Amino acid sequence: MGCKIGNSLTECAANLSTMKLETSKMLLEPLDRLKKVDAQINLTQGVLEAVVGEELGVLPGMDSVCSVLALQKLLNFFSTQRNSSQEEFDVVVYDCNNTEEILRLIGATERARSYLRYVKDLAEKTDIGRLASPSAMRLIYDSARPNGKTSEGRLSSELWNDIEQLIQRISVWFADPSKFACFLIMDPGRSISVSSALRYWGCTTQAGGNICGAFGYTELPSEIHKGVAEKFLPMSFSFLPFLPTDYPADWSRALNSLSQNAKDLLRNTSNKVYASVSFDSVQKSVTLFMPGFDKSEIKLYQYRGGSELLIEAGDQRRVIKLPPAMQGKVGGAKFVDRNLIVTIR
């Protein structure tokens, strides 16, 4: 990047700031919030206060949770309103690890709604839930303060409703490609890189994310490379200049070398999304676009009296809610040209 990157924002060039997300450092802030609330309600009776944050190690899964909290501070997707401090940046780029965990992070809010329903039942319908959940909820809710409010003087039912609305709002935020866009980046000269990108396209769609475009980095685009772009139709594809990493990047040169096609792809993300699910009420069929998979990898289930479809592929499960006029039992399914077509009886 041409500058030393720390765990706080560092300006590397005009209009370009960077920061490194270090989970061991990011753990301290949420722990301090929990301690302050616990000191007021005395839920742990001093046990939490004795925890030294600097002594805590990073457990599996903490990286993703802390990354979300860091992005929330920059993007403020917990709130419906944005103040001037959150408008400091035009674009926030999250350079993530290519893992299944990142895909699950993209679809976490949609999945969380199902878990929340079960947790709420446990809290309201079991003896231990009725005993422990009010205090535990106050601790978590007041630490997060999702709407800038506290739990003081409010009923548990109000807090549950707030949490449900918050999850719904975040889910809508992540589903809006003008606010949250994912891109595939590959080496078009390496078949394994291209195959991996196709696979991530399908897995991200399954996870509920939007792939808004694909980029291939190469020094000199050839006809072979252009053939790779055809594999990603109808998605937009553009080439990026290859930037050597053995010396600091020249950002002015890099920006000037971008093609107009690449610039348009990055700017207009809301116009680049291909619908992953479509309903045909006349034929009573559901078409799911599932690139990167073959027929043997896809499993179809149906629960809840025919109101939903459950699609399993790429170690991801996706629930498709059927419109009221199309609800019924599955009559058949076929896989044609990257599309799973399900017929409803």
| Domain finish residue from 267, 293, 309 | 267
One domain, residues 208 and 223 = yes
Q: Give domain status of residue 226, yes or no.
A: yes
pLDDT value for 216:
92
| Domain finish residue from 267, 300, 324 | 267
One domain, residues 75 and 148 = yes
What is the three-state SS of 112-164? HHHHHHHHHHHHHHCHHHHHHHHHHHHHHHHHHCCCCCCCCCCCHHHHHHHHH
**CA 89 from centre of chain:** 20
- In this structure, the strands spanning 299-301 and 16-18 are unpaired
One domain, residues 239 and 333 = no
pLDDT value for 198:
93
Q: Give domain status of residue 284, yes or no.
A: yes
Q: Give domain status of residue 92, yes or no.
A: yes
Distant-in-sequence, close-in-space partners of 26: CB < 8 Å, separation ≥ 6: 7, 66, 69, 70
What residues make up the domain containing 46? 10-175
One domain, residues 137 and 230 = no
One domain, residues 21 and 142 = yes
Beta bridge partners of 182: 211
One domain, residues 154 and 243 = no
HSE at residue 281, side-chain half, CA atoms within 13 A, is: 5
| Domain finish residue from 155, 175, 195 | 175
Domains in the chain, number: 3
Q: Give domain status of residue 104, yes or no.
A: yes
One domain, residues 169 and 21 = yes
Q: What are phi and psi of 91, to 5 degrees?
A: -140, 140
Number of Cβ within a 10 Å radius of residue 257? 13
Q: Give domain status of residue 333, yes or no.
A: yes
Q: Give domain status of residue 1, yes or no.
A: no
One domain, residues 120 and 207 = no
Do 102 and 63 form a contact (C-beta atoms < 8 A)? no
One domain, residues 201 and 164 = no
pLDDT value for 47:
82
Do 109 and 12 form a contact (C-beta atoms < 8 A)? no
pLDDT value for 156:
79
Q: What averages of pLDDT result for each successive group of 10 residues across the chain (345 residues)? A: 83 87 85 83 81 82 82 74 59 82 79 82 87 80 71 79 82 83 90 92 87 86 79 89 72 82 84 82 92 92 86 88 90 92 93
Distance CA 182, CA 93 (A): 10
Q: Give domain status of residue 94, yes or no.
A: yes
One domain, residues 15 and 112 = yes
pLDDT value for 84:
40
Closest CA to 266 of 149, 181, 146: 181
Angle between helices 62-75 and 28-41 (to 10 degrees): 90
Distance CA 22, CA 62 (A): 11
pLDDT value for 215:
93
pLDDT value for 298:
93
pLDDT value for 334:
94
DSSP label at residue 97: -
pLDDT value for 289:
92
Distance CA 258, CA 271 (A): 20
One domain, residues 71 and 48 = yes
pLDDT value for 79:
63
Do 321 and 327 form a contact (C-beta atoms < 8 A)? no
One domain, residues 259 and 297 = no
Total-model pTM: 0.79
Closest CA to 313 of 330, 331, 335: 335
